[in-house]
Amino acid sequence: MICVLSHYVEDDIVGEVTSSIHICLYVRIFSVLMSVCICGDKTSVEEHHSEDKTDESISESLQPNQDALNFQKKITPGRDSEQALNSRGHPTIGGDYISGLISEMEEDDQLFNLALEARRNAAETVKRSQQELIVVASLVDRIPNLAGLTRTCEVFKAAGLVVADKSVIEDKQFRLISVTAEKWVPMVEVPVDSVRVYLEEKRVEGYSVIGLEQTANSKPLDQFAFPSKTVLVLGREKEGIPVDIIHILDACVEIPQLGVVRSLNVHVSGSIAVWEYTRQHKQPS
């Protein structure tokens, strides 16, 4: 029974789940019932042997006019056994105890349903408030950068983050940096060799494909007006965006820089671009 119940325990952010406390209560009821059954069976066996011995002695000592009484006792042992069970102090189970356990489970059900509904509402609120910005980071391969971008996308409510391999969210270093942001950002897996096809599909859906890259035709970020439906493409940490992908972009933007190095970490530059998009499209509070 415990194995069957545990089969239904799930953990989903908005899915149907069974509270672990239910399992505890079921086990409590099950253990009580089993103890009573075992004690009851043991008592019945003891009563049966006791009655057999008593019947033998009675048959030798009682007068013939008591045979009818003995016969009646033999065919109605249940009542005597029940009385013996209670009088000997064996544990019994009453309706009040079972009702109490059931009442506890019903209260837990109500609290659990309220909590589940609250989580569903929170998820719907997040979904409704998302921006129409998708960040493509399939070319980014360093875990700290991916985790940082995930956190940025969650903070600014991006519609999605595209990565080359979704299993990265299981990495310990990723989780340490993302602080559960991946639970609130829709993440899409697009391998590097499928990025171009993905971008073309998004263009068909009405998105503008914008690359964050320094090119001869790049526009300064502070002078560029992001379309509402934007796919922002980020390049590799060292090489940037490959030429074959640059050729299919609708535009390239770059961050004006004043220093000597003239290079920003991809997580930092991506976050700046996401903020600029958000600044242009955020709803007045």
For position 106, what pLDDT does the model report? 81
Q: Residue range 46-59: average pLDDT?
A: 50
Query: What angle (nearest 5°) sits at the alpha carbon of residue 284, between those of residues 279 and 285?
Result: 115
Which pLDDT band, with edges at 50, 70 and 90, does 94 fall under? low
DSSP class of residue 209?
E
Average pLDDT over residues 230-245: 96
What DSSP character marks residue 200?
H
What does the domain layout of the chain look like in residue ranges? 2-126, 130-281
CB 281 within 8 A of CB 156: no
Residue-wise pLDDT for 171-221, tens only, equals: 999 999 999 999 999 999 999 999 999 999 999 999 999 999 999 999 999
Q: What is the DSSP letter of 70?
A: H
152-169 per-position pLDDT tens digit: 999 999 999 999 999 999
**Of the candidates 239, 232, 236, 158, the residue with the CA atom closest to the CA atom of residue 199:** 232
Paired tokens of 251: 């535009």
Going by C-alpha positions, the residue among 197, 187, 183, 134 that lies closest to residue 164 is: 187
* pLDDT score of 224 more than 80: yes
Average pLDDT value for residue range 248-264: 92
Mean residue pLDDT of the chain comes to 78
pLDDT at 30: 58
Q: 181-203: buried (b, 16+ CB within 10 Å) or exposed (e) per residue? A: bbebbebeebeeeebeebbeebb
Any idea which of 2-16, 49-63, 79-93, 184-198 has the lowest mean pLDDT?
Answer: 2-16
Q: Which CATH class is domain 130-281?
A: alpha beta
Tokens of 184: 């609130």
Q: Are 132 and 229 in contact (CB under 8 A)?
A: yes
Alpha-carbon gap, residue 161 to 169, rounded angstroms = 12
pLDDT of residue 13: 41
Query: Do 220 and 251 form a contact (C-beta atoms < 8 A)?
Result: no
pLDDT at 233 over 90: yes
Highest mean pLDDT among 80-94, 112-126, 135-149, 271-285: 135-149
Q: Which comes out higher in pLDDT, residue 52 or 273?
A: 273
Residue 81 has pLDDT above 50, yes or no: no
Q: Which comes out higher in pLDDT, residue 134 or 50? A: 134
**pLDDT reported for residue 123:** 61
Q: Is the Cα dihedral 66, 70, 71, 76 positive or negative?
A: positive
Lowest mean pLDDT among 35-49, 226-240, 243-257: 35-49
Nearest CA to 131 among 76, 186, 86, 179? Answer: 186
